[in-house]
Amino acid sequence: MSKYKRVLLKLSGEALAGDKGFGIDPKIVNKITKQIEKVVKQGVEVAIVVGGGNIWRGKTGEELGMERPTADSMGMLATVMNSLALQDSLEHAGVDTRVLTSVEMKAMAEPYIRRRAIRHLEKGRVAIFAAGIGNPFFSTDTTAALRAKEIDAEVILMGKNGVDGVYSADPKLDKTATKFDNLKHMDVISKSLAVMDSTAITFCMDNNLPLIVFSIDEEDNIVKVINGQPMGTKITK
């Protein structure tokens, strides 16, 4: 039995790359798809925001001397590629899906309109929000926070690969790092914890949006977290 009626799932672009570290691994995408299919069948309304770091990062372009708005625009296109890959996989699994972009590209996806997005969710379709918020300098973390509030999602589920929650330091680099089971939004800000950027976490705090940071590496973790099984790190106001 699912704990939530409507959720926003935030996936990093790297999560789609798997061990390759770059590009899209069909096996990983299908693994995620199967879990989403299960929760949709339970009646859960699922929206998704996926990053583009497996293809391109705006900061990378800036470091190479590009103007940040141009580099970020390329990053927005990377999120569209990932979103279309997820849509294709979901629809092959029989899950009706719509990609909605904040930058119009009508030949590939629908333009993002809040009421239309909510209607898709009400009809049992998965809504994937691509191209960020359509402006440079804002991350897909901020997109996830904004869209979650706009569609009245009950929680943001941040699916991570290689880590099972929020730690006091990078557990890959610091063996003494400790995992947090529960945090406040302000803790994330004051401790400078690597959960999401400061704009996104501040927005979540101001709008009382809870987050659960968990690993998508284990089998059916998306299903488990939506069904209320305690895992990862819960962040609340």
Residue ranges for the known binding site for UMP are: 52, 72, 133-140
DSSP state of 18: G
Q: Which residues are annotated as a binding site?
A: 10-13, 52-53, 57, 72, 133-140, 161, 167, 170
Query: 115-140: string of b/e by CB count within 10 Å (b at 16+)?
Result: eebbebbeeebbbbbbbbbeebebbb
Q: Which residues are annotated as a binding site for ATP?
A: 10-13, 53, 57, 161, 167, 170
175 close to 182: Cβ distance less than 8 angstroms: no
Three-class DSSP labels, 148-185:
HHHCCCCEEEEEECCCCCEECCCCCCCCCCCEECEEEH
Tell me the backbone φ, ψ of residue 139, rounded to 5 degrees. -85, 170
Tell me the backbone φ, ψ of residue 170, rounded to 5 degrees. -65, 110
CA distances from 57 to 13, 14, 60, 68, 72 (A): 10, 11, 5, 10, 7
Q: What's the CA gap between 61 and 67, in Å, rounded?
A: 8
Residue 81, helix vs strand vs coil: helix
